[in-house]
Amino acid sequence: MARARLERKTKTSGEKLTTLEDAVARIKDGDHLAFGGCLFSRTPLALIRALLRRRPRGLNISRNLMCYEGEWCMVAGAVDKVVTSWMGIGLPWGLSKIVREYVESGRVPVEEWSHLGIGLRYRAAAMGVPFLPALTMLGSSLVDVGGSKII
């Protein structure tokens, strides 16, 4: 089924440039957004600010290394779930008080994956398949706290 859908898909890359407003308008309540960049480097902050001005609700957000954008989305009340392998600015300052408050209180659940595991989730989605098999989290507690399954 996924393969047939991919085979029918237009092969041209098409026009990919758009305005910030148009990009934000395409995001609907309940969507899953995967942010690019790494921690505070190359994060699409202008896009995130424009998105949060629209006051979205029910978003699931994911990123390999989550930083400020996750906190902003939590405080704005835009997020139902965070999927990540790391959340915070870094070790010197410890865990953010915002993250601690929202996660420990259960207001925003966090699904934790290994760095490779979350990357393979993105790869599977790009390929149009439900998952890619991997051994990356076996032998760790991530099998119990994330959304992975042993098959």
Domain-embedded: residue 151 = no
Tens-digit pLDDT profile for residues 27-80: 999 999 999 887 778 889 999 999 999 999 999 999 999 988 999 999 999 999
Please give the distance of CA 137 from its chain centroid, rounded to a whole number.
Answer: 18
Domain-embedded: residue 79 = yes
- The pair of structure tokens assigned to 95 is 């865990």
Domain-embedded: residue 117 = no
Domain-embedded: residue 55 = yes
The answer, yes or no, to whether residue 146 has pLDDT greater than 80, is no
Q: How many independent structural domains does the chain possess?
A: 1
Where are the strands (E) in 39-98, listed by range? Answer: 59-66, 79-87
Q: What pTM does this model have?
A: 0.84
Domain-embedded: residue 37 = yes
- The pair of structure tokens assigned to 104 is 């420990």
**Beta-carbon contacts of residue 54 (< 8 Å; ≥ 6 apart):** 24, 27
**Domain range spanning residue 37?**
19-112
Domain-embedded: residue 136 = no
Tens-digit pLDDT profile for residues 91-124: 677 788 999 999 999 999 999 999 999 999 999 9
Domain-embedded: residue 132 = no
Domain-embedded: residue 46 = yes
